């Protein structure tokens, strides 16, 4: 019996240590691109032999609730990640997170690029951006546009830039502020809004069926499910809106834990299956981690601040 017991103990010691469980916080309701970011990280880390990741949802203020919760109450949690996007950085640039600054958290990894897009229902009378803006020019009150966030959010700015280039004062546009892309597409499906200003990754979830994508805000047409969608440039409106998607951690996370996560994402992004998983999530190549990402974020916030001043959005 003693020999059997010893054998069992030795066998248990020989088993691989189970990867720890981490949390990826989605700072919006389910169904949008922030959700996709955490789900991609969850799947890609597991595929690369990394830690198991569970998702949780913390909507509110287009990321503000998650930001302030981590910074004030959960500062040092070693295995908690939060999804971010270019929209998060735009909010920082405009002061929508209060006195928060980019240096207040630890930026771990960017795992893909995304682009803005404009969508309508499949039965909409609008088939091009020109038709849409002609209708807005004729009677802006009849065209309600869903955006994630309030005035100054990235979805608002994208539509404002398009309108401006089409010769329409953005102040004439009629917006409805919602919490994430999932809510926007649900509202459009129910007929409460006629247009969604969102992101290509979100559109990939809804393309076909009841949704028509009028334009992507990329330099050239995107591959995959949106390959037949023209760019805004092709339609005579020269607006491009790229953004990155990734994750950050609390400000008091130890250097050792932070570096451990940076290394985990570097291994994940170097894994053979990552490019396929990223494409399935509707994202495009853009990888950056650790210190390089931190420098990139600080510069991006500065650039967004300059752009926001154009619309007098900086607080």
Residues of the domain holding 72: 20-113+242-310
Q: Are residues 208 and 278 in the same domain?
A: no
> What total number of domains does the chain contain?
2
Does residue 280 belong to any structural domain of this protein? yes
* Residue position matching structure tokens 């990394």: 50
Q: How far apart are CA 40 and CA 270, in angstroms?
A: 14
Q: Are residues 171 and 129 in the same domain?
A: yes
Q: Do 32 and 148 contact (CB within 8 A), yes or no?
A: yes
Q: Are residues 150 and 216 in the same domain?
A: yes
Does residue 9 belong to any structural domain of this protein? no
pTM for the structure as a whole:
0.82
The DSSP bridge partners found for residue 54 are: 23
The tens-digit pLDDT sequence of the chain (315 residues) is 444 444 443 444 433 344 569 999 999 888 888 999 999 999 999 999 999 999 999 998 778 899 999 999 999 999 999 999 988 898 888 888 888 999 999 999 999 999 999 999 999 999 999 999 999 999 999 999 999 877 788 899 999 999 999 999 999 999 998 877 888 999 999 999 999 999 998 887 777 678 999 999 999 999 988 999 999 999 999 999 999 999 999 999 999 999 999 999 999 999 999 999 999 998 999 999 999 999 999 999 998 888 777 776 655
How many Å separate Cα 49 from the centre of its chain? 24
Q: How far is CA 148 from CA 39, 46, 83, 86, 158, in A?
A: 20, 30, 15, 13, 11
Among the candidates 235, 264, 291, a domain finishes at 235
Q: How far apart are CA 116 and CA 215, in angstroms?
A: 9
Secondary structure letter of residue 104 according to DSSP: G
Does residue 11 belong to any structural domain of this protein? no
Q: Are residues 161 and 306 in the same domain?
A: no
Instruction: Give the pLDDT confidence of 101-136 residue by residue, as tens digits.
Output: 999 999 999 999 999 999 999 999 999 999 999 999
Query: Phi-psi region for residue 62, left (φ > 0), alpha (ψ -120 to 50) or beta?
Result: left
């Amino acid at each position: 019996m003693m020999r059997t017991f010893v054998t069992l103990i030795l066998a248990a010691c020989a088993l691989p240590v189970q990867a720890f469980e981490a949390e990826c916080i989605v700072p919006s309701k389910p169904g949008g691109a922030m959700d996709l970011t955490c789900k991609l990280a969850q799947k890609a880390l597991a595929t690369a032999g990394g830690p198991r990741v569970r998702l949780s949802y913390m909507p509110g203020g287009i990321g503000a609730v998650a930001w302030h919760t981590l910074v004030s109450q959960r500062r040092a949690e070693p295995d908690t990640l939060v999804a971010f996007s270019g929209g998060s950085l735009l909010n920082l640039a405009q002061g929508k997170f209060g006195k928060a600054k980019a240096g207040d958290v630890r930026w771990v990894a960017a795992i893909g690029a995304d682009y803005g897009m404009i969508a309508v229902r499949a039965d909409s009378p609008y088939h091009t951006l020109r038709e849409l803006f002609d209708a807005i020019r004729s009677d802006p009150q009849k065209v309600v546009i869903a955006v994630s966030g309030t005035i100054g959010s990235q979805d608002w700015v994208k539509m404002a830039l398009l309108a401006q280039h089409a010769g329409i004062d953005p102040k004439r546009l009629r917006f409805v502020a919602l919490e994430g892309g999932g809510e926007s597409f649900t509202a459009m499906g129910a007929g409460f809004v006629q247009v969604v200003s969102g992101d290509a990754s979100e559109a990939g979830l809804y393309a076909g069926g009841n949704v028509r994508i009028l334009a992507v805000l990329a330099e050239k047409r995107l591959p995959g499910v949106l390959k037949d969608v023209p760019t805004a440039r092709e339609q005579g409106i020269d607006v491009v809106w790229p953004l990155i998607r990734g994750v950050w951690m609390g400000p008091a996370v130890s250097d050792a834990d932070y570096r451990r996560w940076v290394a985990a994402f570097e291994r994940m992004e170097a894994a053979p299956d990552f490019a396929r998983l990223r494409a399935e999530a509707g994202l495009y190549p853009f990888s950056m981690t650790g210190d390089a990402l931190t420098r990139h974020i600080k510069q991006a916030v500065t650039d967004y601040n300059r752009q926001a001043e154009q619309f007098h959005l900086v607080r």
